[in-house]
Amino acid sequence: MSEIKITAETRTEFGKGAARAIRRADKVPAVLYGHGNDPVHVTLPGHELLLALRASNALLNLDIDGKSQLCIPKDVTRDPIKGFLVHVDLLVVAKGEKVTVEIPVQAEGDLAPGQNLVEHVLNTVSVEAEATHIPDSFTVSVEGLDAGDSISASDIELPKGTTLVTEGDAVVIQILAAQAEEPAEDAEAEAAEGEAPEQDAAEGDEEKSEA
């Protein structure tokens, strides 16, 4: 994963009012944590940060007052309706340092013939990787799999230097058989049953008129 360079500004004003003013200026309040240092409060350009965070576990290289600092997103808060960035917590990292992160899992390939479904039991798996070599995602093949088959965390091929933290026997993807539609005969039988009372009533009326 390549570094994404962003210029940050240190901030000294806090509170909801200050945060709203920052966001009105199309910027995002953020806090840097880690390495036993005191938290560092910064302001980041909103559009650049939004683009950077399209990649999970993006490696950011912040320029803070002329000093470079590597970090990764730890917690991202977005507006639940409009989706804009509200606040970001960042974790300070260093080259060669290992961190535990969640990596998205994607499925590819065609299932065995039949109306089967791919269910993602886990959308991500936890791994330990070098901070500067965090995988973007993992892709697993479901080619030829049939209902009842599954893929476990230990089946995922990991790049060199990355180790699995999620339990190896944890099911990540399983193949389900689609529920069969109700046979047409059953629907017709139910319709016939629904008509039966009307037919009985009609027959009863005929008998009365004949009597």
Q: Are both 12 and 89 inside the same structural domain? A: yes
- Read off the pLDDT band of 194 (50, 70, 90): low
- At residue 188, the pLDDT reads 58
pLDDT, tens only, 145-161: 999 999 999 999 999 99
- At residue 208, the pLDDT reads 44
Of the candidates 69, 77, 67, 139, the residue with the CA atom closest to the CA atom of residue 103: 139
Q: Look up the domain containing 123 and give its range.
A: 100-177
CATH code of the domain covering residue 172: 2.170.120.20
β-partners of residue 152 are 171
- Would you say residue 186 lies in a domain? no
Q: Which of 39, 66, 94 is the last residue of a domain?
A: 94
Residue 142 pLDDT > 90: yes
pLDDT higher for 101 or 188?
A: 101
Residue 48 pLDDT > 50: yes
- At residue 211, the pLDDT reads 42
DSSP state at residue 146: -
Q: Are both 31 and 82 inside the same structural domain? A: yes
Q: Quick check: 60 and 4 in contact, CB under 8 A?
A: yes
The Cα 120–Cα 169 span in angstroms is: 15
Relative to beta strand 85-92, strand 27-33 is: parallel
Average pLDDT, the chain: 86
Residue 183 pLDDT > 90: no
DSSP 56-109: TT--EEEEETTEEEEEEEEEEEE-TTT--EEEEEEEE--TT-EEEEEEEEEEES
- At residue 12, the pLDDT reads 82
Q: Are both 21 and 70 inside the same structural domain? A: yes
Domains: count for the chain: 2
Q: Are both 87 and 104 inside the same structural domain? A: no
- At residue 125, the pLDDT reads 97
pLDDT, tens only, 26-40: 999 999 998 888 899
- Read off the pLDDT band of 207 (50, 70, 90): very low
- At residue 180, the pLDDT reads 61
Cite the DSSP H helix spans in the chain.
16-24, 46-52, 184-210
Q: Are both 12 and 63 inside the same structural domain? A: yes
pLDDT, tens only, 80-130: 988 889 999 999 999 889 999 999 999 999 998 888 999 999 999 999 999
Q: Are both 89 and 8 inside the same structural domain? A: yes
Q: Which of 46, 73, 94 is the last residue of a domain?
A: 94
